[in-house]
Amino acid sequence: MTDEELVSGCISKNPSAQKLLFEKFSRKMMGVCLRYADRSEEAEDMLQNGFVKVFEKIETFRGSGSLEGWIRKIVVNESLTYLRKNKAMRLNIDIDDSKYMIPGNSHVGENMNEKDLLKMIQQLPIGFRTVFNMYAIEGYSHKEIAEQLGISEGTSKSQYSRARTHLQNMLKSESVFAETLADRKTV
């Protein structure tokens, strides 16, 4: 089925079209949700909320952009709504509350894959992670992030900067750990 046929079927509330739409996009959208969630159960809740909204709003899809992009925007917004409802107090992390790992001085990322990077992003404090995902991955501006999260633009920029520093330190620490393991094997 083409995207247009899927949309038409979903507008008509056709269960098989809804199932096909979900099967086609749920895996990618779960990846989006995992970037915002602490645990896979939370990501599943975000995904479910997102697809409920997709099916409620499917008639508003105009076909001017990609269906996947439209669904992604809804899933991101629903993930943010979930975070606001369930974690509002944790979205704004003070720099002193964040534990930084010991930095190393070696090359980073040579053997890193997407899953490793996702795990590191998931380890970021919720405020850092949310702003990092929205800015670096989803492409929102700091102004848009501030409006979405109910924070100042300066706070968004600060959280993004802190998230980057935190990730860089985690990557350096990971590299030091990998070199230590390699050194032990050669001894």
Q: Indicate the pTM of the whole model.
A: 0.69
Which CATH fold topology does 1-89 show? Rna Polymerase Sigma Factor; Chain: A (1.10.1740)
Predicted confidence (pLDDT) per residue in 105-144, tens digit: 334 444 556 778 888 888 888 889 999 999 998 899 999 9
Q: What pLDDT was estimated at residue 13?
A: 95
Which CATH fold topology does 91-187 show? Arc Repressor Mutant, subunit A (1.10.10)
Task: Give the list of residues 6+ apart from residue 82 with CB closer than 8 angstroms, or none.
Answer: 36, 42, 45, 46, 49
Residue 163 burial (10 A CB sphere; 0-12, 13-18, 19+): buried
Q: Name the segment(s) of the chain with CATH classification 1.10.1740.10.
A: 1-89
Q: What pLDDT was estimated at residue 135?
A: 93
State how far the alpha carbon of 114 is from the alpha carbons of 9, 31, 65, 172, in Å: 34, 11, 26, 17
Predicted confidence (pLDDT) per residue in 134-187, tens digit: 999 889 999 999 988 888 999 999 999 999 998 888 888 876 555 555 555 555
DSSP assignment of 13-78 equals: T-HHHHHHHHHHHHHHHHHHHHHH-SSHHHHHHHHHHHHHHHHHHGGG--SSS-HHHHHHHHHHHH
| Percent of the chain whose pLDDT exceeds 70 | 79
